[in-house]
Structure 1
Amino acid sequence: MTASFARSTALQERLHRVVPGGAHTYARGSDQYPEDMAPVLVRGEGARVLDADGRWLVEYGMGLRSVTLGHGYAPVADAVAAAARAGVSFSRPSVTELEAAERLVAQVPGAEMVKFTKNGSDATTAAVRLARAVTGRDLVAVCTDQPFFSTDDWFIGTTPMSAGIGDAERARTVGFRYNDLGSLEALLTEHAGRVACVVMEAATALAEPEPGFLEGVRALTARDGCVWVLDEMITGMRWAAGGAQQVYGVTPDLSTWGKALGNGFAVSALAGRRELMELGGLRTDAARTFLLSTTHGPEVSGLAAYLAVADAYDGGFGADVVATMERRGAALAAGVNALAASAGLADHVVALGRPSCLVFATRDHTGAPSQAFRTLFLQGLLTHGVLGQSFVVSAAHTEDDLAVTLAAVEATLPSYARALEQGSTDGLLRGRPVAPALRATADPRRLPDLDGA
């Protein structure tokens, strides 16, 4: 029997009338899910969420990888509630602000100072601005194999959604390849004396650094005189409490943090070497850099959330948080891949990547990645109680959650096999396939105009 998403669909229509794209993050948009099967959520508990149609679903992705301890994790929620009752925004720094800063500096191997904000883009753009101020240079070098660094012009101008961003700004961002020191060295040589910073993730779900790569980046940036900015938005507190720099033993000049820092609460940070960060402070004779100055950056509830998360990672959770995610992810991947192999679909449905940041591949009859086949897989998962654009776990995922997920995968594979046999998903999808979140036009998931055109 086909699951009903009637109330969620009605609510989604209302969202589209008042919110561009129907969601406040493109990755959360209804175009990322099968048509008329995009749940609108009411609440969450642990690794499950309740949708507007009354279904409890096992969730993956967990707030775009921001929730590692589970929805409604009591120690964090209690800390935030207590902070809110005591007032959250003042005209001077709070003790919580100091405690959070000292805690993060102690947590991050390469950090001597920190400045908090509310979203990752602000932190990363502040790092870029600081690097330009430090070096007097204008170009930003980004790793082109990695999908996202900021909503600001310096990065979004490199994506298909570059409307509204001038050619001059787009030209100030250049690219190099991950695990290819030669491409970075060539770029720094081509633009000698012009690259202000190298912005990259140390690793991703699907890509680990080859031996010597990160050390080579450190050496090249030091030799060139540019600033090395490590984006820890995903890796921070998911690879380790101290981020990827702790795992791989490297020290960037600056690093940017968010997502898991607050278990879903809004808190992000720019951390780094004192001599750089002080250009935004008062211990400098240089022209001051407008580093980060936000009304809500030091808002106490987000910082209280971070402190409670840090406590959980320091033993308050009752188990090693990262190790728990790694264990759950590994078990899930093994189960999914065993089911696919048993159904003869091992080359088409694959769970892969770092266990704490697991994704799935959906390939068509030719073996190529396919949005249509991805949609068919998502459709099956949703029908059988699983919400997930990925298989990214939290430490709150239980063996029961994994069992529900594996049952949903097993129930979905027969329709996937039929699609492979006929060479298409025709007649098997409820609507149009999902589309990339960052694309040049609303098509292929354009909505009708309000007047019906």
Structure 2
Amino acid sequence: MDTEDTQVLALPRSRTANERLHALIPGGAHTYAKGDDQYPDNLAPVISHGRGAHVWDVDGNRYVEYGSGLRSVSLGHAHPRVIEAVRRELDRGSNFVRPSIVEVEAAERFLATVPTAEMVKFAKNGSDATTAAVRLARAATGRPRVALCADHPFFSVDDWFIGTTPMSAGIPSSTNELTVAFPYGDLAATEELLTRYEGEVACLILEPATHTEPPPGYLAGLRELADRHGCVLIFDEMITGFRWSEAGAQGLYGVVPDLSTFGKALGNGFAVSALAGRRDLMELGGLRHSGDRVFLLSTTHGAETHSLAAAMAVQSTYVEEGVTARLHALGERLAAGVREVAAHMGVGDHLVVLGRASNLVFATLDEHGQPSQRYRTLFLRRLLAGGVLAPSFVVSSALSEADVDHTVDVVAQACAVYRKALDAADPTPWLAGRPVKPVFRRLA
């Protein structure tokens, strides 16, 4: 191997910081997707700060960053309009014994942005919102089972979902039995599931789109199935919200769910999520009805004023500056560039860019065309060495065309090494340690 193949990035301060993290925090991070096992051995940078589309690690290295904050920072770090809105609230107090006027202003702004919903309740994370949606569906229907899309990777940290993953330790089997799964894009299989559990399924929950577009008529077909079988249709719009359109996938595709959940891009990194939907369902968690009360969402910090101010600033920025269109344009430039250099280097069938332009991911395939964590490790090592931090290719609007072009240049260099590993039918010499690992696995 030549020196290009053996180029390494030294991160001594990050390595020390990672040891401190593991000593005090289970998993070394507060989200498993940020764990150092997701990065090549000894190449997991610990971040010092970020500005726009760039971040700096504690070793002083600067990176062009993708997938910022697990897709939450879609406007770029420390966006001036968001920061100014937050600053205005900080010296006014953040939490009170009664609702703040900011709460109703944020609700009005959200419902104007997502007009398919009639009521909204805010929380701090996506799991609270999706679990509240499931609880509401069970209360409204009187049914126990949850039907979730088996092809979508994550819905909640709560038992109804985590029990279906390889990390199901600590969750009773009786809980797991109440969650069933349907495949994305297959209406016949979903109808068969609903017929098999006729009168038992409270809801269908899915991401309306991910790395593939919904087949023609699919979402409308799910709407019809849910209506016919008397269950609640829930769209998890944590990712699709704002990236597909300001009103999410439901706004783009024109299919209205009963309930939907938003988060991530809603706060540009500030902690805010939302459960929204039909008034008759949402009001079951309120005070203006005569039926059994539903403990919907009751979070001490759910209406923290500066996070709601951030959310309002994000929505204004998206609408006034055409952010969704910019995300798509940047993603299209990146995808075209990566595909071109991958093909030129002879790895176009092995480094595969997937997804909507505003939400790109990549797959790394081995010499047999199978997904490979070892080739992913090789690829990530080369990206990091070139100053690109990219667990995905999810763009933020803060990226410049120069950032994208630099990324494509680094990808080209990585593809040259990828080709050599494929020719050798063994990427091991280029890994310099253990491969990266999937988040959901049974053993640590």
TM-score, normalised relative to structure 2 = 0.98
Q: Which residue type is aligned with residue 9 of structure 2?
A: A
Trace 1:369-408 onto structure 2 (pairs within 5 A): 369-408=371-410
Trace 1:53-452 onto structure 2 (pairs within 5 A): 53-204=59-210, 206-315=211-320, 319-442=321-444
- Distance in 2, matches of 1:422 and 1:308, equals 52
Deviation readout 1:168-214 (Å, 9 max, x if unpaired): 0000000111110011101110001000111011100x211111111
Name which of structure 1's ranges 1-10 and 19-28 shifts more when overlaid on structure 2.
1-10
Shift of residue 414, structure 1, vs aligned partner: 2.0
Alignment partner, residue 448 of structure 1: none
Shift of residue 84, structure 1, vs aligned partner: 1.3
Alignment partner, residue 3 of structure 2: none
Shift of residue 4, structure 1, vs aligned partner: 1.0
Contact 1:385 / 1:404 at 8 angstroms: preserved in 2? no
Alignment partner, residue 445 of structure 1: none
- Distance in 1, matches of 2:47 and 2:424, equals 35
SS of the counterpart of 1:303? helix
Shift of residue 345, structure 1, vs aligned partner: 1.2
Deviation readout 1:44-88 (Å, 9 max, x if unpaired): 111110111101100000111111111110110111122111100
Contact 1:240 / 1:247 at 8 angstroms: preserved in 2? yes
- Distance in 2, matches of 1:431 and 1:161, equals 25
SS of the counterpart of 2:55? strand
Deviation readout 1:251-306 (Å, 9 max, x if unpaired): 10000010000011000010000001111111110000000011000111110000
Shift of residue 320, structure 1, vs aligned partner: 1.1
Number of aligned residue pairs: 438
Q: Which residue type is aligned with residue 349 of structure 1?
A: L
Deviation readout 1:301-360 (Å, 9 max, x if unpaired): 110000110110121xxx310110100001011111111111111111122221000111
SS of the counterpart of 1:236? helix
- Distance in 1, matches of 2:87 and 2:195, equals 53
- Distance in 2, matches of 1:426 and 1:219, equals 51
Alignment partner, residue 26 of structure 2: 20
> Is residue 51 of structure 1 aligned with residue 57 of structure 2?
yes
> Is residue 6 of structure 1 aligned with residue 8 of structure 2?
no
- Distance in 2, matches of 1:258 and 1:405, equals 28
Contact 1:109 / 1:251 at 8 angstroms: preserved in 2? no
Shift of residue 399, structure 1, vs aligned partner: 1.0
SS of the counterpart of 1:379? helix
> CA-atom RMSD, angstroms?
0.8
Identity of aligned residues (%): 58
- Distance in 2, matches of 1:404 and 1:277, equals 47
Q: Which residue type is aligned with residue 173 of structure 1?
A: T
Listed as ranges, the gaps of 5+ residues in structure 2 are 1-6
SS of the counterpart of 2:309? helix
- Distance in 1, matches of 2:242 and 2:271, equals 15
Shift of residue 160, structure 1, vs aligned partner: 0.4
Listed as ranges, the gaps of 5+ residues in structure 1 are 443-453
SS of the counterpart of 2:140? helix
Q: Which residue type is aligned with residue 364 of structure 1?
A: D
Contact 2:223 / 2:257 at 8 angstroms: preserved in 1? yes
